[in-house]
């Protein structure tokens, strides 16, 4: 079956611009996660959705970052007024349910470059 997909695979933008990154989770997965992976580091948690609601957004670095999942499936990560420090690979993952033991399946990521 289809895995987690993310679009675009690469995004180059200029400082100050607005970007949207899309994640299509595995069908039927109720939980969706966003992580950010900077060069040479492990992924860092940003936000977690259970269904349509954000259950934990403690990892969002500031109010320029926002994510939605209006119908409980596809999610969009939105970044306003991008800065060069936002350059990273943004990873999306989904799992069947909540709880730390559920395996998270990762997408290939979106590489964001802010010039």
Partner 1 sequence: AQSVTQLGSHVSVSEGALVLLRCNYSSSVPPYLFWYVQYPNQGLQLLLKYTTGATLVKGINGFEAEFKKSETSFHLTKPSAHMSDAAEYFCAVSKEYGNKLVFGAGTILRVKS
**Does 8 engage in binding with partner 1 (CB under 8 A)?**
no
Stretch that binds partner 1, among 16-24, 66-74, 80-88, 92-100 (CB under 8 A): 92-100
**Does 1 engage in binding with partner 1 (CB under 8 A)?**
no
Strand partners, 65: 79
Q: Which residue shows structure tokens 């100050």?
A: 16
CA distance 50 to 96: 10
Smallest gap from residue 90 Cβ to partner 1 (A): 12
**Does 44 engage in binding with partner 1 (CB under 8 A)?**
yes
| Buried b / exposed e along 54-90 (16+ C-beta atoms within 10 A) | beeeeebeeeebebebeeebebebebeebeeebbbbb
**Does 104 engage in binding with partner 1 (CB under 8 A)?**
yes
Q: Which of 30, 51, 59, 76 binds partner 1 (CB under 8 A)?
A: 59
**Does 52 engage in binding with partner 1 (CB under 8 A)?**
no
If one counts every other C-beta atom within 10 angstroms of the C-beta of residue 4, the result is 21
CA distance 54 to 11: 25
**Does 76 engage in binding with partner 1 (CB under 8 A)?**
no
Residues in touch with partner 1 (CB under 8 A)? 3-4, 31, 33, 35, 40-45, 48, 50, 55-56, 59, 91, 93, 95, 98-109
């Amino acid at each position: 079956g289809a895995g987690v997909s993310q679009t675009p695979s690469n995004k180059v933008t200029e400082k100050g611009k607005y970007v949207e990154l899309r994640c299509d989770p595995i069908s039927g997965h109720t939980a969706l996660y966003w992580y950010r992976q900077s060069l040479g580091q492990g992924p860092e948690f940003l936000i977690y959705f259970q269904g349509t609601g954000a259950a934990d957004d403690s990892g969002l670095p500031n109010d320029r970052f926002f994510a939605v999942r209006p119908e409980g499936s596809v999610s969009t990560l939105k970044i306003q007024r991008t800065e060069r420090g936002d350059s990273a690979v943004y990873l999306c993952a989904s799992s069947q349910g909540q709880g730390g033991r559920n395996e998270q399946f990762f997408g290939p990521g979106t590489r964001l470059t802010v010039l």
